[in-house]
Structure formats: structure tokens, C-alpha cells
Amino acid sequence: MAKVKTVHVCQNCGNQSPKWVGRCTSCGEWNTFVEEVVVKETKSPLSSRTASGAKPQKLNEVGIEQIQRIDCYNEELNRVLGGGLVPGSMVLIGGEPGIGKSTLVLQVALDLKSRKILYVSGEESIQQIKIRANRLKRENENCYFLSETSLENIITHCEHLEPEVLVIDSIQTVATAHIESSPGSVSQIRECTNGILKFVKERRIPAILIGHITKEGSLAGPKVLEHMVDTVLQFEGENQYLYRILRSIKNRFGSTSELGIFEMNQEGMREVSNPSELLINRDHKGLSGTAVAAAIEGNRPLLIEIQSLVSTAAYGTPQRSSTGFDLRRLNMLLAVLEKRAGFKLAAKDVFLNIAGGIKVDDPAIDLTVISAILSSNFDLAIDKEQCFAGEVGLSGEIRAVNRLEQRIAEAEKLGMKKIFVPKSGKNLNLSKFKIDIVAVDRVDDFFRRLFRKS
């Protein structure tokens, strides 16, 4: 006979308590405990699904097989995954509502015409999916759609259909009858993910899961969800902008330093193979406060435009505002300009923006940030065919950056005539570039050379 008991589970970390408490003792969050009914049976229907014929083996007894990845017919997604989907792997995609997760996954499912796909949606009906497919202008005779939220029914349909790729949209809507709690709870997400994991590992088919995120930006559900899957991808971008960045947070079969860039349009997510041409504006001749940075995002070099506006503080207290750039680092750079270079900016408002709505953490854009700030402060325009790459230290020195040759090559490819780089660095072969390379080592010396002709 089944034993029924109730426990209180933290919806943030999954910590359990026999009684309700205001603050979780594990993660420290307030008012996150919810009462859930737990039914303990003698045998779980999902726990009995074990890999058939699995035996302990020595490493020298295991044959190395050439794993054939599944091509997604999407270069940006393939790059982030490490070359495609690995059979038997689970990929979790998270992001803000409306960022384009379902659109991208549906687009990939409809493009895989040589594979049998099962697309399970717990949020939309099949008619709604049909409307989105018509908007994407794609069809696939081998793609089957199912509107279902029961884990047992999903596993049964998978056993009969035998798909080669499984898509779940989203994992928070799937529930199992074994757990008597609402869909989306910690217990349901953990149990359902475990059931799907056992099935795909046994059948060696890849599964793509779409996950919701919390208001803090982390994936909803227990942290164990990210440990169970093989790959965690994060969609970033602002809804007001067209560009989306797909980052790899975890990848057991590839690098986590890769990223994919997409553009949202009426026909879905378009791959952006050369984002530098879209992120910089060539028509800002004569305008001050704009500079171009040679940045590295992941393993990809790209040129981004940094805009700055410096004005006199209207109410006595200066404002510091930054979009796409770390505000604390902006305050540090302003302090360096004040202390080491003698520029009086303490009584002025400083606004900084990275064009395109993207966020960049590369420290090599420091030189571009201070260039844009001083350009706006003195109302002196920077030549649109110049770009910058360098990290600024607290003592006013310009420090060396990584992958300098890639940055220079990207700048030269996009028609830049001059690039400012750090003087201190490794012995690099810069003679192969036709672009004018200016090496600088101090902030004060850099600005004298930058605005010498102005």
C-alpha cells in the first residue's frame, strides 16, 4: 500500500523541510516553500526503466566509436553545440519569454528533413504550431507534433513512433502521475527530466528541452536540472532589438566559449554569419562620442560600436548610466581618467551604450570606452575608419589583450585603416597586415596621438 505524506519544498533550490519555514536554510530565499504531497510506492514505474544489458566494464574493454553528430542545418547552432547534436544527449535551452526559443527549435525541427522528429508541446496546440510553421514558411513530412503534458503518454508515443530527435516545449509543463504536485514544481521537473533522460540514453536519441527562467535570469527549477542535461544554452538579447545571442553555459561535447548570433525577423531566426557589418554604423562621420572596438565574444572576433554622451550635471549630482557594459568598470575607467590623465569628469553626467543591444564582457574594449567618453567630452569626432583594442589598468597603462591577431584581421577585413593596440605584449608577426597598427602604452600618450590632427 502506498504511503502518503506531505513535505515543504523550496521552489528555488529543492531543499525539503517537514514544516513550513519563512527562509530557506539552503539558498537563503524567503517565502519559497510550498507544501507538496509525496506518494511513496514500493516500485516506481520510471525507476524500472534501466538500460538493458548494462554491465560494468574496464576502459580497455570499451571500443572507441566515431560518434556521428546530427547536422542541425544551422551553422550558428552547430557552432554552439560543437558540431551538431550528439546521439543520446540532452540539450536545455533557456531564455526570456518572447526571446525566440520555440521559434528556433521549431525551425530546426522543420529543417531536419532526413530525420524523424517528435515535437511535443505542452504550451501550444497543434493548430497554433501550424500557424507558426506557416509564418516560418517551412514544411517537413518527417516531423510529428504532439500536444501533451503527461510524461507517461509522451514516453508511450515515443516508443511507438521511435523518433530520431525528441523536442519538449517546455519541460516545466510536463508532469508525471507519480508525483502529486503541480507541473513546474521542483519535484515534477526533477522526476520528468529523469524519466526523459533514461529514455533517450537507452534509445540513443538526442532530446532538446526548452526551459523557463526566473525573474533573476536563472533557469527555473532545481539546480540539479542543469547537472542532469549534457548541454545548457542561454538565449540573450533585448526584445526591443532584433539581435539574439545564443551562449553555451555547459557543454559536455564541445567548448563553452562559442556563441551564435541570430536576427529575429518575420521568417524566424536568421543566422548572422558576419555580425560586425550589422553592429557598426558607417554613417556617423563628424559625430563625436562614437568609437569602434575590436572585441572577442567567445571564439569569434567582431567589431562593435560604443556610444557615449558626456554632459554637465543638471542637478549637481552626476549620473552614471551604462547599457551593455559593466557600470562598475565604467566608474573605474572614469576614475583612471581623472587621476592618471587629468581629465575633470567628476561633475559631469556620463552615459554609455553598446549599439545593437548586446552585452560585452571583454576587457579589451576599455580603450574604446575611454575614447568615446573623451570624444564626447571635447566634442571631437573619431575617424570612422579607426578602431581600438586594449585593456586599461588602474595606473593608466594600456595592458596587452588576448588574440590580438584575430582582432586586427577582423578590423582589416571590414575596411578599417588604423587600429590602436597595446605596446606591451608578445612578439607577434604584425607585418602581414596592411592596416596601420599604432602601439600605445599609456593613456595620456594615447589621447595625444588620437586627437593630434583634430
Closest by CA position to 93, among listed 272, 245, 222? 245
Which tens digits make up the pLDDT trace of 318-368? 899 999 899 999 999 999 999 988 888 888 999 999 987 788 889 999 999
Could you tell me if residue 57 is inside a domain? no
Q: Are residues 366 and 406 in the same domain?
A: yes
pLDDT(42) > 80: no
Instruction: Tell me whether residue 98 is annotated as binding.
Output: yes
What's the domain range around 314? 277-450
Query: Which cell is 188 given?
Result: 515534477
Q: Are residues 113 and 257 in the same domain?
A: yes
Q: What is the residue-averaged pLDDT of the chain?
A: 86
Question: What CATH number has the domain bearing residue 416?
Answer: 3.30.230.10
pLDDT at 187: 81
Which tens digits make up the pLDDT trace of 145-193? 999 999 999 999 999 999 999 999 989 899 998 887 788 888 888 889 9
Number of separate domains in the chain: 3
pLDDT(48) > 60: no
Instruction: Tell me whether residue 183 is annotated as binding.
Output: no
Domain's final residue, options 225, 257, 273: 273
pLDDT at 365: 95
Contact 250, 211 (CB under 8 A): no
Instruction: Tell me whether residue 101 is annotated as binding.
Output: yes
Query: Which cell is 39 given?
Result: 506518494
Instruction: Tell me whether residue 96 is annotated as binding.
Output: yes
Burial of 291 (0-12, 13-18, 19+ CB in 10 A): buried
Cα Rg, the chain, nearest whole Å: 26
Q: Are residues 17 and 83 in the same domain?
A: no
Q: How are strands ordered across the β-sheet holding 3-10?
A: 16-17, 3-10, 33-40
Q: Are residues 120 and 188 in the same domain?
A: yes
Q: Are residues 384 and 432 in the same domain?
A: yes
pTM for the full model?
Answer: 0.77
Domain's final residue, options 241, 273, 305: 273
Query: Which cell is 143 given?
Result: 516531423
Could you tell me if residue 45 is inside a domain? no
pLDDT(87) > 60: yes
Task: Report helix angle 101-111 to 126-136, nearest 10.
Answer: 80
Which tens digits make up the pLDDT trace of 269-287? 888 887 787 777 766 667 8
Query: H or E stretch including 437?
Result: strand 436-440
Which tens digits make up the pLDDT trace of 287-307? 899 999 999 987 888 899 999
Q: Are residues 291 and 394 in the same domain?
A: yes
Q: Which residue has the higher pLDDT, 209 or 65?
A: 209
pLDDT band at 221 (very low <50, low <70, confident <90, very high): low
Could you tell me if residue 65 is inside a domain? no
Could you tell me if residue 51 is inside a domain? no
Q: Which residue has the higher pLDDT, 27 or 137?
A: 137
Q: How far apart are CA 121 and CA 427, in angstroms?
A: 55
| Strand-pair category, 3-10 with 33-40 | antiparallel
Q: Are residues 30 and 159 in the same domain?
A: no
pLDDT at 38: 67
Q: Are residues 342 and 434 in the same domain?
A: yes
Which tens digits make up the pLDDT trace of 98-136? 888 999 999 999 999 989 999 999 989 999 999 999 999
Could you tell me if residue 56 is inside a domain? no
pLDDT band at 229 (very low <50, low <70, confident <90, very high): very high
Q: Are residues 269 and 360 in the same domain?
A: no
Closest by CA position to 293, among listed 285, 283, 305, 282? 305
Q: Are residues 27 and 109 in the same domain?
A: no
Q: Are residues 84 and 9 in the same domain?
A: no
Q: Are residues 334 and 252 in the same domain?
A: no
Average pLDDT over residues 219-240: 80
Domain's final residue, options 249, 273, 297: 273
Which of 223-227, 394-398, 434-438 has the weakest average pLDDT? 223-227
Question: What CATH number has the domain bearing residue 174?
Answer: 3.40.50.300
Q: How far apart are CA 236 and CA 245, in angstroms?
A: 5
Q: How far apart are CA 112 and CA 126, in angstroms?
A: 19
